Amino acid sequence: MTNTITNPIVNDTATFLQTAEETQNRLTEIEILLGPDGGNTLHIHKTFEETFTAVEGVLGLRAGYPNTKTILLQPGESFTVPIGMAHHYFNPGKSDIRFNIKLEPGHSGFEKSLRIVYGLARDGKTNKNSRPHSLYHLAVLAEIGELSLPGPLGLLDPVISLLARRAEKKEIRQELLESYCE
């Protein structure tokens, strides 16, 4: 399995530097190359904290909900998002930026969810924000990556869990894992 994956929709490349398996679940470390206007959507991690470190260029973060704070990290600066805090990253500039993400503890499910969403994006199965067209795919990603949506959208968690269970029965989860993680 390749260590580098690309998402053409959000204009980024992720390289797995250390996986949960390699570190006995101590951490997952990923380097991201993010193009102008690239970024992800607001989300919450349920079981791990995420530390962002700018390497080249300015990295933008929004953290918190509903009182969202914008943070601009210069190269060498870091910010840790604790478990349960809504956040997303973005490129505020006009040039590519490079940054590291460190998950503690490591999370192989997050690693798989990243591989799946990047694969779905490459295959034209996501929208312009890299959200899967299929609700089953979205539910599987949320379940595998142990993530949630912030605010009132978090009320959809039970529905997402139900859809994830149905996706398991329909073998959609296994199909995604086989297509993008093996």
Structural domain harbouring 136: 109-180
Do 48 and 117 reside in the same domain of the chain?
Answer: no
pLDDT of residue 78: 98
Same-domain status, 58 and 35: yes
- The count of structural domains within the chain is 2
pTM: 0.93
Query: Do 97 and 9 share a structural domain?
Result: yes
Same domain, 138 and 60: no
Residue that is last in its domain, among 107, 123, 142: 107
Residue 1 pLDDT more than 80? Answer: no
Which DSSP string do the residues of 116-174 spell out, in sequence order? HHHHHHHTT-B-TTS-BSSHHHHHHHHHHHTEE--GGGGGGHHHHHHHHHHHHHTTHHH
What CATH number has the domain bearing residue 13?
2.60.120.10
**115-160: per-residue pLDDT in tens?**
999 999 999 999 988 899 999 999 999 999 999 989 888 889 999 9
Indicate if 149 and 114 belong to the same structural domain.
yes
The helix or strand, by DSSP H or E, that contains position 114, with its residue range, turns out to be helix 108-122
Same domain, 91 and 161: no
Tell me: do 124 and 97 sit in the same domain. Answer: no
When pLDDT is cut at 50, 70 and 90, the band that residue 2 belongs to is confident
